[in-house]
Amino acid sequence: MQSLNSGRKPGRPIGGDAAVRNVLLMRARELFLRHGFHDVSTRRIANAAGTTPATIRYHFGDKMGLYRVMIESAVQPFIEDVQRLASGEDAETTDLEALIRAYITMVADNPWFPMLLVREAFAQEGPMRTELVERFAWRIAPALAAVLHRERAQGRLRPDLDLTSAAVSLLGLCVFPFLSLPITGPLLGFRPDGDDLQRFIRHTAQLFREGVAARPEKDRLLSLDARGNRP
């Protein structure tokens, strides 16, 4: 099978429009992770994909358009899942585990995404942080808050729970294991795929739930103590 760069002159990669877009997105992702958005030109992406900058303009408009599609293709299914959970459209609306499953699955399907966040959003101030915040964080934060608020209102979460802290902890539990893979993979044998991924999702859901779940008797005693009574 002929590779993309096996002596072919730049032009259109082999395949239809969908294949061309996928190759461009894949090569751009690799280059952005290695060098950063600002140090990668459209010509460099096109050369890596075996095509020309004109093909990028045709499919994405420009480099920023390509970057936005790359982010959207990863996060849009997760955003839709979280918004559905927050809206109460299905039977899992009060199921915090469904939210955790959706987030971890998104990261497992796109293991490059956390590394991109670190490189372009966490490590430096700049326009790419704004892009990631606007196209990802601002679209899930209200829905995540709505799920946690509703679960607490329904008595599933501790009444004294700080929901902001809980949201930060939840995101960390879901994302950090993928950032630590270069170390935890070889040292601990952590592999977030197949049955191991499903086991990790169940473990994370149980760990978070055990920490934030309402405990009726203990909550009653805390309430009494808050009113100045000794239980």
- The pLDDT tens digits along the chain (231 residues) read 333 444 444 444 445 688 899 999 999 999 998 888 888 999 999 999 999 999 999 999 999 999 989 988 888 888 888 888 887 766 544 578 888 999 999 999 998 888 888 887 776 666 678 878 887 888 888 888 888 988 898 888 999 999 999 999 999 999 999 999 999 999 999 988 999 999 999 999 999 999 998 887 655 555 545 555 544
Residue-range domains of the chain with CATH: 1-61 (1.10.10.60), 71-226 (1.10.357.10)
CA–CA gap between residue 213 and residue 72 (Å, rounded)? 33
Half-sphere exposure of 89 (CA within 13 A, CB side): 9
**Residue 141's closest CA among 86, 66, 217?**
86
What is the pLDDT at residue 30?
93
Nearest to 48 by CA among 61, 58, 35, 230: 35
**CA 150 to CA 156: how far, in whole Å?**
9
Residues 6+ apart with CB under 8 A from 32: 40, 67, 70, 116, 119, 120
CA angle 51–54–9, rounded 5-degree value: 30
pTM: 0.77
The region, left, alpha or beta by phi > 0 then psi within -120 to 50, assigned to residue 228 is left
Q: How far apart are CA 52 and CA 57, in angstroms?
A: 9
| Residues 6+ away with beta carbon under 8 Å from 55 | 12, 20, 24, 46, 49
- Rounded distance between C-alpha atoms, residue 74 and residue 132, angstroms: 12
Task: Give the position of tokens 């490590």.
Answer: 123
Long-range pairs for 109-114: beta carbons < 8 A, 24 or more residues apart: 109/74, 110/74, 111/178, 111/181, 111/192, 112/29, 112/33, 113/74, 113/75, 114/175, 114/178, 114/179
pLDDT of res. 221: 54
The single-letter code of the amino acid at 122 is F
- Quote the radius of gyration of the chain (alpha carbons, Å): 22
